Structure 1
Amino acid sequence: MSSDTIPRVDPALVAGNQRPLAGYEARHFQWSVKEGVATIVLNRPERKNPLTFDSYAELRDLFHQLKWADDVKAVVLTGSGGNFCSGGDVHEIIGPLVRLKAPELLMFTRMTGELVKTMRACPQPIVAAIDGVCAGAGAILAMASDLRLGTARSKTAFLFNRVGLAGCDMGACAMLPRIVGQGRASELLYTGRALGGEEGERWGFFNRLCAPEEVLAEAQKLAAQLTEGPSFANGITKTMLHQEWAMTIEQAIEAEAQAQALCMLTQDFTRAYEAFVAKQKPVFQGD
């Protein structure tokens, strides 16, 4: 049966599981969607784009909503004014935290952790465009992204140790070693020192470096390339990359067998075969 004759999804099911986000009006950062690529810009350049209680919560909720977005295939995350993100705002977050008691502090740390969870759980690949300062929670946002483009002048620092806190913040002790290795992650988390752009590329933290004036455009170009691929299958890849951290090799192979069989049922798989036979480039539609 040709993919053109396959019945479409029941509208009632679509209504409950798909919703557009292009028209979303962000309150605490900039948000735009163009041809399937959403761009989030942390936009407080006067303080190097720090996070606040409000921006943490809005980012958490927005990444959660991306599970159902039918008009967003990839996400670009960046900062304005030549910096990525300086972490939690000293005056609006750090100051209030020192006056809170344990239940409220746990409420805060769970909220920040939920942001990482929703970034990892949304099916869209996240490309971080990182220039200048990328510190504290900003370094965590970069770490939680799927791909990272940096610049030679970028400085990534997991600063928690320098403010009297443990490096085990927002999943850093679990995720960072998987990106740069246990020894290198230990160094960054114990010392809080800055990882320069060229060193970050050598360590594998950055996929590649770009000129500062080009890093956002390159990230958007990469994201656009991802939107041309099979978005359903890309979402499965992201899910498996995340879930297989906690699996044995045997469990991972079985889980991938099931996931790949599911992808073979998609129309994109059929389109790829038909395009190959016709010596054409497949046009994927994400179903």
Structure 2
Amino acid sequence: MSEHVHYDVDEGVATITIDRPEKRNALSYAMYDAIRDGVARAEADPGVRAIVLTGVPGQFSAGTDLSQLEKVEAETRPEDRGEHADGRHWFLWSCTKPVVAAVDGPCAGVAVEFATQADFRIASTQARFSWIFVQRGLIPDQGVGTWVLPRLIGAQWAKRLIFSGEFIGAEQARDIGFVLDVVEPERLPQAARELALAVSSGSPFALRRAKALINDGQSRTRDEHLQAHVVALTECEQSEDHREGVAAFFERRPARFTGR
């Protein structure tokens, strides 16, 4: 990992921590790659059931390190534009395991795009969110703000936040449906961990399919969704996890899921 991005696993929860407080956790390209590598590492580890993305206390991330951005904007970087078109920047959204963004302090720019990709957002009372892109002559750079955000909070609120670039606090973010819960800063790490454990306690096999159906269903017709649903349900019915879940019910014991 990068010296500014740490990766730890404890009891099945992988925590990726952004640690560059002197720059308000602004993300260099190396840090961006380290976060992506951390998600891939957690995805590939059968011992990891959920992921928490967070920052050091008081800082989630102010977004991209603009000093680095300035050096490369003169080049068109077509290879990166290709990544924008094929969704490779959506690695949190496409991760098959539950992802929790635990936000303390400012969360802006590409960092708020990361948070929007997460399955759940939990914020401290100090958290603030901004889609600042238009104020920098850009649009939300991963395409997440213009596609996922309206589906989370509605088109009207998404337009207000993206058009204005204004910061909103944690309570307002919760009120409009962007944030699931708000806690005191000292409570945030434990609250995020508890949420990660709660949403990953079931069958990994079934969870992967449920997440895909929910995420992909936003761009499918009802009939397309039901076709995908039937395939996923059949796979679940034939899985080892389903047999284990039924056996555990009748034997009155906790299920021991393997993800198969």
Q: Percent identity?
A: 27
Structure 2 length as normaliser, TM-score?
0.92
Task: Select the residue among 143, 152, 165 that pairs with 1:179.
Answer: 152
Deviation at 1:109? 4.7
Deviation at 1:81? 3.1
The aligned length equals 259
Aligned equivalent of 1:72: 48
Contact 1:36 1:227 in 2 (8 A): no
Partner of 2:133: helix, strand, or coil? helix
Looking at structure 1, the residues matched to 39 and 82 of structure 2 have their Cα atoms a distance apart, in angstroms, of 16
Aligned equivalent of 1:87: 63
Q: Which has the larger radius of gyration?
A: 1
- CA 1:200/1:224 → structure 2, altered by over 3 Å: closer, same or farther? same
Contact 1:38 1:75 in 2 (8 A): yes
Looking at structure 2, the residues matched to 43 and 278 of structure 1 have their Cα atoms a distance apart, in angstroms, of 46
- CA 1:87/1:110 → structure 2, altered by over 3 Å: closer, same or farther? farther
Q: Are 1:154 and 2:130 counterparts?
A: no
Mean Cα deviation higher: 80-89 or 234-243: 234-243
Aligned equivalent of 1:192: 165
Structure 2 portions without partners, runs of 5+: none
Deviation at 1:281? 3.2
- CA 1:285/1:226 → structure 2, altered by over 3 Å: closer, same or farther? farther
Looking at structure 2, the residues matched to 202 and 171 of structure 1 have their Cα atoms a distance apart, in angstroms, of 20
Looking at structure 2, the residues matched to 211 and 166 of structure 1 have their Cα atoms a distance apart, in angstroms, of 32
Task: Select the residue among 75, 83, 95 that pairs with 1:101.
Answer: 75
Contact 1:28 1:54 in 2 (8 A): no
Looking at structure 1, the residues matched to 33 and 250 of structure 2 have their Cα atoms a distance apart, in angstroms, of 48
Deviation at 1:278? 2.5
Contact 1:228 1:283 in 2 (8 A): no
Structure 1 ranges of 4+ moved more than 6 A: none
Looking at structure 1, the residues matched to 199 and 231 of structure 2 have their Cα atoms a distance apart, in angstroms, of 23
Counterpart amino acid of residue 202 in structure 2: G
Counterpart amino acid of residue 241 in structure 1: I
Deviation at 1:251? 0.9
Q: What are the equivalent positions in structure 2 for 1:38-53 lying under 5 Å apart?
A: 38-53=14-29
Aligned equivalent of 2:30: 54
Looking at structure 2, the residues matched to 123 and 244 of structure 1 have their Cα atoms a distance apart, in angstroms, of 15
Counterpart amino acid of residue 180 in structure 1: I
Structure 1 residues 84-139: Cα deviation after superposition (integer angstroms, max 9, x where no partner): 1100012222x2134x232x2x4345557755322222211100101110000111
Give the RMSD, CA atoms, in angstroms.
1.9
Q: Are 1:241 and 2:214 counterparts?
A: yes
Task: Select the residue among 195, 203, 210 that pairs with 1:222.
Answer: 195
Aligned equivalent of 2:259: 286
Structure 1 residues 11-64: Cα deviation after superposition (integer angstroms, max 9, x where no partner): xxxxxxxxxxxxxx5544000111211000000011211111111223234434
Contact 2:14 2:48 in 1 (8 A): yes
Counterpart amino acid of residue 58 in structure 1: A
Aligned equivalent of 1:211: 184
Partner of 1:88: helix, strand, or coil? coil
Deviation at 1:265? 1.4
Deviation at 1:244? 1.3
